[in-house]
Structure 1
């Protein structure tokens, strides 16, 4: 990592942006770990009573936003917990201060801080942005995943790669569920179609961390319906730089909302068709 994250302030170099994201993600990760040891305070709920926001989510977002703007005051920011800043630099930071908040609430180790530097690209993802640098820190497992466009992906500084598995019958597949009854009903139907045809299903509770585990070869594929930009912005860059292929609901729909499949070429098309019942 760069000795001076401020070096990222004057340019849009993806490596410098990734170094800045990594430094801030580690700082936020350390802070949410400290707060978890003190006990969790629920501050609000969102889509349903089970979709919670903790005081740590809010403090982590404030920390991340302040750290970014201190170095890059002209950048935009989109944060899960409500930060919306329109910048003038062409860079928008997409942040999830704690992805996997329910895991955090229950002290399960699958949660992470996710930070991505994105640029406008209408064809790349459903939200019209494309990550060029990103970092995801899981402080409970002491893991830092980092990637920048064209630079490959790393875990704690070591290169990582996807498995390349193309046979769904022996593929370990991860997915996630939303918090509304309607969304969960749809997602349960998808699981019912997939699980008889795959090695097994994992539901870990953090899209960002799932994508990192895919990148590191701990999963063979991942799919989900209803992801938001902060859920996947950094994770899909890390996965793609580790060799994964990403597709959307169909060939004319970019990945993201309403659907995303990530894995090896060949496997993703089969998994998409199966999950969607096509």
Structure 2
């Protein structure tokens, strides 16, 4: 008796998630070293995106080329989605979601809070994620169901504080009209929490939540490459993530917080209109 043929619509078998993690770690390490060690003194802007503030440097492009070339060489049947334009559908059921420099403006100005973010999806779900922050000397990673780690040590989010003692991070869009509304949301939120931080890298903010350095984080306007790896790392460290009540993180709003704070913060942000411009 022979096995029945697999339906053409079925997903290919899942690869070992640890194998995907190892590739992401190596790709992030190589890209991080390139960005850290070969940043030109006269680093220039190669292109602008949504506004003159939202920039791409030649190093973003070089890092994405390095990452996608490395991954394609090792797993040529995988799909890739990159912030700087890499896009291939793939046939393996695996897709890599790549942000070569999360926090490009920080990188442009020589500030340390930038990162390389690489996530592996299988059948549409993120199963492995790596965020490397070379100027911090830290690498964060997670595999679905396996916990979160920073430099190989387990990472855990903080116990939930009362709302008025919560340290919350956020980010602002590059489009003026959107930024203005986000500033108004932040103005109304500040009296309700301990304080607000604005770091400039969504991936690092989510990893700081995972490591107990923040109690919550929210931002409107993120793309898949901004949050794929960091969202998995935060959740594997014990945090909760979502959008508006009942919805997963998306471009309208990403909310992440320690359990016990997540629901009240999510409801407050919904009340303040953080999900629209």
Give your verdict on TM over 0.5: yes
Find the counterpart in structure 1 of residue 119 from structure 2.
116
* CA drift at 1:11: 5.8
Q: Work out whether 1:269 is the aligned partner of 2:263.
A: yes
- Is contact 2:72–2:78 with CA below 8 Å preserved after alignment? yes
Given candidates 16, 24, 41, the residue that maps to 1:13 is 16
Q: Work out whether 1:248 is the aligned partner of 2:243.
A: yes
- Is contact 2:14–2:93 with CA below 8 Å preserved after alignment? no
Larger radius of gyration: 2
Distance 1:157 1:39, change over 3 A: farther
Given candidates 88, 93, 115, the residue that maps to 2:91 is 88
3-state DSSP of counterpart to 1:195: helix
Whole-angstrom distance in 2 between the partners of 1:37 and 1:154: 31
1:69-121: CA deviation from partner (whole Å, max 9, x where unpaired) = 0100000000000011000000110000000000001111100000000133x
Given candidates 21, 25, 31, the residue that maps to 1:22 is 25
1:145-172: CA deviation from partner (whole Å, max 9, x where unpaired) = 1110111111111111000324111111
- Is contact 2:245–2:267 with CA below 8 Å preserved after alignment? no
3-state DSSP of counterpart to 2:191: coil
Q: TM-score, normalised by structure 1?
A: 0.90
Gaps in structure 1 of 5+ consecutive residues: 1-9, 121-128
* CA drift at 1:14: 1.4
Whole-angstrom distance in 2 between the partners of 1:21 and 1:55: 22
- Is contact 1:194–1:271 with CA below 8 Å preserved after alignment? no
Gaps in structure 2 of 5+ consecutive residues: 1-12, 273-277
- 1:143-222 alignment to 2 at 5 Å? 143-222=138-217
Find the counterpart in structure 1 of residue 47 from structure 2.
44
Q: TM-score, normalised by structure 2?
A: 0.91
- Is contact 2:64–2:99 with CA below 8 Å preserved after alignment? yes
- Is contact 2:255–2:266 with CA below 8 Å preserved after alignment? yes
Find the counterpart in structure 2 of residue 135 from structure 1.
130
Whole-angstrom distance in 2 between the partners of 1:224 and 1:74: 33
- Is contact 1:130–1:233 with CA below 8 Å preserved after alignment? no
Where do 4+ consecutive residues of structure 1 move more than 3 Å? Answer: none
Whole-angstrom distance in 1 between the partners of 2:243 and 2:23: 29
1:197-223: CA deviation from partner (whole Å, max 9, x where unpaired) = 111000000000111111111111111
* CA drift at 1:130: 2.5
Aligned residues: 260
* CA drift at 1:269: 1.7
* CA drift at 1:37: 4.9
Whole-angstrom distance in 2 between the partners of 1:89 and 1:214: 32
Q: Work out whether 1:34 is the aligned partner of 2:37.
A: yes
Find the counterpart in structure 1 of residue 5 from structure 2.
none
